[in-house]
Each structure stands twice: as C-alpha cells, then as structure tokens.
Structure 1
C-alpha cells in the first residue's frame, strides 16, 4: 500500500520543514513515507528516492508534469514523466537490496567506499567551497595506504563509481526536442519537486481554512474534516 499524506499530515510536514535546508526537507518527507521508527538518515539516496516517489504517487498521483528548455535551440518544452520511469528497478514500497562497500584502485590507493546517505547530505554545508570534497570523503570507509586527505583524482574516481553502487540515487529524465531533435538527459530532484507540491497545497489549504473559518466560524480541524469536494462548494457559496 502506497503511503499517502492526509491534509492534516501535509500541513504538519510543511510547517516543520518551512525554512529548512533541502536535505532536511527531503528526510522529513521520507520519514512521512517510511515505516515507523525507520532511520531515514541512514538510508542510501536511492532508497530515499524510492520512499519519496511512493509518497508522491500516493498523495498526488503517478504523473509528474515538468518543463525544460532545449539546450540546443532554447525552445521551452512541456513533458510528463511517471514515478515508474524515475524509480530504479526493484525500488517500490520497500528499500532495495543493501549494497556492501565496494573497492577500487586509483593513483596507487586501494579505496573502500560506500553509498551516500541522507545523513551525509544533511551534515555538509552546500554553500561551502569544499562541500563536494567533504561529501565524497564521507563515502570513503578505508584506504591502503592510509590517508586522511586523498588526492582530488581519487575522490573523483569514487564519485564516478557511486551510481553503480547505488542505482537510483540520481533521477534523470531522457528528453528529445521535437523541434531540433536534440536528445539529452535532465536531472529531476524528487525531493525538491515533491516539496514544491506540498508547499503549494499547504498554502492553498490554509487560505481555504481562513475563508471558511471566517464565514462559518469553523475551527481548522472542522474545516479539514470536510472533504475537498464539499469545501469547494462552500468556498463557491461564499463568493456568491
């Protein structure tokens, strides 16, 4: 069964996450979709994306309308992608198989590394000029010979291997421009997309609560107890 936000839960999530950094909002949304007590900060990015896609599908549907500009001819495009197209194979409703740390050889180092987690993103200041290096360094479990400060080239090799270690950590959409036929892939940040929808819905809902509370004297909980279809009728009646 897909997780689904009730309107009351949606308002609570929005209120808690409003003003927080994107990684914190992503973990907040994932926690709303996770099993009780699950430590979402310890999940890999692919598992987090799987939870977010399930929550999005259960709360807003499977189709995600998107807009993009062709990088070749600058034509604006409207496209739609589904949650299944973004979801990595096997990542639906349950976390994918756990990946053990992997090992690579680069520039004379044997490096054991693991997949990135939500907690890693949360711990790094994205505004720092060293953010990328810090994030990649967190993936390194061990090195031979031992090194506290690996060369840049070694860390970039680790970065290139992370996608193979955790398929689904990056969500991309293949696109083809209907005007010039240029083909490319565009990244889609599932957490940012879902948060924008949650925020938009929350603000519209609060306006509905304000209007109906002002006209009928209902409390917020009483307004939320009314179905969206009936609320639309009452809102239309207030405008008469």
Structure 2
C-alpha cells in the first residue's frame, strides 16, 4: 500500500507507512466488537508499519485526531477509491435516497481554513489575527474526554491567549478538521435539504464488514481449488486473494463453456 505524508509542506512532516490489508485483519475485524474508534484504531495498528517525523518514530496515540482521520481516509481511498456512496432517509418525507461524496473535494473544503493557522516546531498552532496559541487533540487525549466535562477537556489545549471555549473549539476544528462532519444533502423526492452526519470511519468499517461474506466465499473457492488451509489463504493480501478467486471463477466458466 502506498505511504502517506502528513503536513508535507511543513517542517513537522510525518511519514506513515502501511502494509497491505490481508484476510486475517478483515476476519478479525468482523469479530472485534467495541466502539468504531476502537475498531479503527486496532485496524490501523495492524496495517501501519511505521510513523516517523524527522527520523523520530512515533506511536499512533501521538497523532492528532485530524491526522488519524487522514490515515482512515488514505486506507479508504486505497481500498475503494475516492468516492463514497451514502444512503440516508429524508428527515422530511422519510424517502430513502443516495448521494456521493468525492473525498478530494470534501477534504479541500474542510481544510480551506487551515491556512489561517501556522504550525510551530513544537507542534503548537497560532491563530492568525487572534494570537491564541493552542495544540490539537491527539488520539491519546480521548481517554481524558471520558473522564472530564468537555469544557475542562478543552482547557488543556489552550497554551496562551484569551479565548472562550466556543472560539477555541472553532480554532481546533479549523486547524485540525475531522473526516466526520455535518453536511447538507438535498432529497430528490421533496427537494428538502437534510443535515446529515458523514463519518468516514463508520463508512470504512461498514464496507469492510459487509465484505465478509465475499471473503469467506473467496477462501472457499481458493481452498477447494488448491487445497490450501485457512491460515495460508488469510495471509494473502486482499488484492491477491481476490485475483486468485477471480482467476478460478474465470477458468471454471471457460471449462463449462467447452464441456
């Protein structure tokens, strides 16, 4: 899988290396349980082989929530491409409808205000025109969110400046946007505009879990053809496993056509 560079135009660039997803991770994910964040954290831990900045290795916990979401986006794009198909029910007429989100355009939109903030060498951000200095929440900070009220949790990210919680929240969301956002979607049946929650982590996990039935069919096809055991097949990368299964299916169709 192609690697990912975070903050590529900054002195704080972070390089993230991935290995390809295998059936072992796919099958384990289906049985994992826990929150969506827990599941995605576990999955990224399995497939990220290295995180480093200026030759210093980092842990997944040390990434900001925004950078974590960029890793999720990278995984989704490598597996499914840049377009996400969303299915919702209209809040007005209750009719179901679908719409697509192009991730490249989506990220350009939510990162549009990032240029209003400068990233210092120590990892703090400065709000241009305001003077507040703050940090972004990291993955490790989520544990504290369960222990403290949201406002007290926010206090730890303000380094200097006079800033209320609402303004600080705005700064954090603009400097480190997440891939979970409220977006507008127009219902084709009644033309009403719906405010719906788009959460890429949820879509990515749902897509992988829905594919489990195909994974088991592919395992059966390959095992039946080559006599390989379950562990051997699950260690194949997702792409290689799918190619093997498609070759076998194609061969069977040719044989049936000439029989």
| Shorter-chain TM-score range | 0.5 to 0.7
Q: 1:113-154 CA distances to partner (integer Å, 9 max, x unpaired)?
A: 4222222224433xx7x553454344344687xxxxxxxx94
Contact 1:175 1:183 in 2 (8 A): yes
* Structure 1 unpaired stretches of 5+: 104-109, 145-152
Contact 1:174 1:186 in 2 (8 A): yes
Change (3 A) 1:89 1:157: closer
Determine the C-alpha separation between the residues in 1 that align with 2:102 and 2:145. 31
RMSD of aligned alpha carbons: 4.1
Contact 1:113 1:139 in 2 (8 A): yes
Change (3 A) 1:7 1:48: closer
Q: Which runs of 4+ in 1 moved over 6 A?
A: none
Q: Secondary structure at the match of 1:194?
A: helix
Superposition TM-score, scaled by structure 2 size: 0.63
Deviation at 1:58, TM superposition (A): 0.9
Which of 129, 136, 153 lines up with 2:154 in the alignment? 136
Superposition TM-score, scaled by structure 1 size: 0.67
Q: Does 1:27 align with 2:27?
A: no
Partner of residue 79, structure 1:
99
Partner of residue 59, structure 1:
79
Q: Does 1:46 align with 2:59?
A: no
Partner of residue 231, structure 1:
245
Contact 2:83 2:101 in 1 (8 A): yes
Determine the C-alpha separation between the residues in 1 that align with 2:64 and 2:197. 18
Q: 1:178-222 CA distances to partner (integer Å, 9 max, x unpaired)?
A: 233223442211112212222333453245325654675311354
Which of 191, 201, 225 lines up with 1:181 in the alignment? 191
Q: Secondary structure at the match of 2:91?
A: coil
Richer in strand (by share): 2
Instruction: Give aligned pairs, total.
Output: 217
Q: Does 1:198 align with 2:208?
A: yes
Partner of residue 12, structure 1:
25
Determine the C-alpha separation between the residues in 1 that align with 2:197 and 2:139. 18
Determine the C-alpha separation between the residues in 2 that align with 1:38 and 1:97. 22
Range 191-200 or range 53-62, more displaced: 191-200
Q: 1:27-84 CA distances to partner (integer Å, 9 max, x unpaired)?
A: 3444535744443322222222222111111112222111112223322111111221
Determine the C-alpha separation between the residues in 1 that align with 2:103 and 2:19. 17
Within-5 A mapping of 1:200-215 = 200-202=210-212, 204-210=214-220, 212-213=222-223
Which of 227, 230, 235 lines up with 1:217 in the alignment? 227
Determine the C-alpha separation between the residues in 2 that align with 1:41 and 1:215. 43
Determine the C-alpha separation between the residues in 1 that align with 2:80 and 2:118. 27
